[in-house]
Structure 1
Amino acid sequence: MSLIFSQYHEGSPLPPAFYEMPALEVAPRLIGHTLVRHTEDGDIRCRIVETESYGGIEDKGSHAYGGRRTARTEVMFSQGGVAYIYLIYGMYHCLNVVTGAINDPQAVLIRAVEPLTPDDEALMRKYRNAAAKKPVDLSGGPGKLCRALRIDKSLNCQSLLGPKGSLWIEAGRPLTNDAIMQTPRINIAYAEEYADKPWRFFLRDNPFVPLLHKNVTAFK
């Protein structure tokens, strides 16, 4: 069974209908697609290899839990297909893909990406401006990938639907379910009964993905 719908042609921007699905459906389906960052030095293309789902006002791990509507979370209440970018610890940006319908706050956190070519990797290393001896050190974490792709809050609310902007997502090669693994999400003990939901997804045996959790199962 393919997670990626056959009508998505490799290299074409994902259509609006893709983002209309709930976050829990979009999160595993984003694995294998291509995140593109346009810069003055050229476009950087990366394969999305790890995601987390944060869906709906009932999810105690979500910034919008209980319908919390603030200046920061307002973008989560948008129509799916835009970027939600926030700062953690006062220094690390995190990139999220807003999904679902208007006023139903859902988002998918992009946790890790893999550069597609040596040229993509070279630009990412330049922007990362830090020693990255292992693949996971380059872009294996939401803060790391945002630094490697020069993603910050200036791109908050950016449409992800096409190549006219600075950030978008293109269809990658189809994957089968057995290529995807899942675990509980990372560092959300505060989410109580939602902390153990297996809503983190990643590409099996990918060197850019930090394991970080012992409870790993195949995607169902």
Structure 2
Amino acid sequence: MSERELAAADPLTAARLVLGARLSAGGVTARVVEVEAYGSDPEGPWPDPAAHSYPGPTPRNAVMFGPAGRLYVYLSHGLHLCMNVTCAGVGTAGAVLLRAAEVIDGEDLVRRRRGPDKRHRDLARGPGNLGQALGITLADNGTDLFADGSAIRLRLDPLPDHQEGPRVGVSRAAEWPWRLWDPTSSAVSAYRRSPRASVVPGAGESRT
């Protein structure tokens, strides 16, 4: 599997492809165990009011409108660097937020970045922690994750079984079941619905 599959995929299909992938950067490899799908601006095929792409192309979100298989990095709340994998074709926005991963190689390096007393499950649990664990910077924005010799590589290895539920922390379209996770992993983050999200009857999930 490669960027070709992502280029042909809608965001939810792309999320299913990315869940279980191996992400390698700077001597660390982690297995992705939790993701969220995000769609397009209103002119695109998957209008998503929770997506960074919703206002249309801007300098910040330009990578989302580019080729599939690129790393979209953004600063969240001025503190945390979060990573996304782009999907769909050039000119059509779509991305998969990497929410959590299990560190499978380079744990000593991760502990130097995250602290020596962290439990293994917490080393890359949460999108900001994952970015810190892999040493990601804003300079990595736009990296081709499938190019030979790339400093950051993604190897797709979709899980045979996973669960799906509402997205975390967004105030709009919070009920969309576009969050996917590996139910066997302790590194999956807790579900927290935004207090600003509207209440939709029947929306929710069992994980706490």
Report the TM range for the smaller structure's normalisation.
Answer: 0.7 to 0.9
Structure 2 CA distance for partners of 1:212 and 1:105, relative to 1, 3 Å: same
Query: Which letter maps to 2:28?
Result: I
Find the counterpart in structure 2 of residue 56 from structure 1: 40
**1:10 — aligned with what?**
none
For structure 1, list consecutive stretches of 5 or more residues without a partner in the other structure: 1-13
SS in 2 for 1:49: strand
The structure in which a higher percent of residues are helix is: 1
- In structure 1, what is the Cα distance between the partners aligned to 2:134 and 2:101? 10
Q: Which runs of 4+ in 1 moved over 4 A?
A: none
Aligned residue for 1:65, secondary structure, equals coil
**Distance in 2 (alpha carbons) for counterparts of 1:175 and 1:74:** 30
| d(CA) in 2 for partners of 1:60, 1:164 | 36
Tell me the equivalent position of 2:201.
Answer: none
Asked if the contact 2:169–2:192 (Cα under 8 Å) also holds between the matched residues in 1, the reply is: no
Structure 2 stretches lacking a partner, 5+ long: 42-46, 194-203
CA shift at 1:211, angstroms?
A: 2.6
RMSD over aligned CA atoms reads: 1.9
Segment drifting more, 17-26 vs 85-94: 17-26
Task: Indicate yes or no: 2:2 matched with 1:15.
Answer: yes
Asked if structure 2 preserves the Cα contact closer than 8 Å seen for 1:51 and 1:109, the reply is yes
Structure 2 letter corresponding to 1:128: R
The one-character-per-residue Cα deviations of 1:182-203 (angstroms, maximum 9, x if unpaired) are 11101111x1xx2100000000
Q: Any residues of structure 2 matched to 1:118-197 within 5 Å, and which?
A: 120-129=106-115, 131-133=117-119, 135=121, 137-172=122-157, 175-176=159-160, 179-189=161-171, 191=172, 194-197=173-176
Q: Is the 8 A contact 2:2 2:156 kept in 1?
A: no
TM-score (norm 2): 0.85
1:130/1:187 Cα in 2 relative to 1: closer, same or farther (>3 Å)?
farther
Contact 1:181–1:216 (Cα < 8 Å) also in 2 = no
Pick from 96, 101, 106 the counterpart of residue 108 of structure 1: 96
Equivalent position amino acid for 1:175 in 2 = L
Rounded to whole Å, the distance in 1 between the matches of 2:98 and 2:116 is 21
Contact 1:64–1:105 at 8 Å: present in 2 too?
yes
Q: TM-score, normalised by structure 1?
A: 0.81
Aligned residues: 191
- Residue 182 of structure 2 corresponds to residue 203 of structure 1: yes
Deviation per residue, 1:138-177 (Å, 9 max, x gap): 11100001111101211001101134111111133x532x
Q: Quote the Cα distance in structure 1 between the aligned partners of 2:128 and 2:148.
A: 24
Query: How far apart in 1 are the matches of 2:165 and 2:139?
Result: 31
- Aligned to 1:127, the other structure's residue is in SS state helix
CA shift, 1:130, in A, is 6.1
In 1, the alpha carbon distance for the partners of 2:180 and 2:2 equals 22
Letter in 2 for 1:196: E
Task: Report the Cα distance in structure 2 between the residues aligned to 1:81 and 1:143, rounded to whole angstroms.
Answer: 20
